[in-house]
């Protein structure tokens, strides 16, 4: 009889165990918070930018170039936070 192979899904991303091996508990919490804030800034920044350049209508921000600038800044800061959360911890 032939045996059936069962596909397994393997998580290859960072895990809590991996984080706790590479840094202390406080550093792990800081990295998690940085990632959450970074993702939120990128998402909201994209929305603000698209509303500012009049792609997403229906808000007081629609067509206001100021919100496109704020959105661009938020995206850049969010990406910076995501890169900062990925850097290895300094051992000192």
Residue 44 belongs to a domain: yes
Per-residue pLDDT of the chain (92 residues; tens, 9 = 90+): 566 666 665 545 555 555 545 566 778 888 899 999 999 999 999 999 999 999 988 888 888 999 999 999 999 999 999 999 887 766 65
Residue 58 belongs to a domain: yes
Domain count, the chain: 1
Range of the domain at 79: 24-86
Residue 55 belongs to a domain: yes
Residue 29 belongs to a domain: yes
Report how far residue 29's alpha carbon sits from residue 33's, in angstroms, rounded to the nearest whole number.
Answer: 6
Residue 17 belongs to a domain: no
């Amino acid at each position: 009889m032939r045996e059936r192979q069962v596909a397994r899904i393997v998580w290859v991303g960072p895990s809590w165990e991996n984080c706790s091996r590479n840094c202390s508990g406080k550093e792990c919490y800081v990295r998690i918070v940085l990632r959450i804030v970074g993702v939120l800034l990128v998402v909201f920044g994209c929305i603000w930018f698209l509303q500012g350049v009049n792609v997403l209508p229906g808000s007081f921000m629609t067509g206001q170039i100021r919100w496109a600038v704020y959105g661009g800044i938020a995206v850049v800061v969010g990406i910076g936070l995501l890169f900062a959360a990925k850097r290895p911890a300094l051992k000192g």
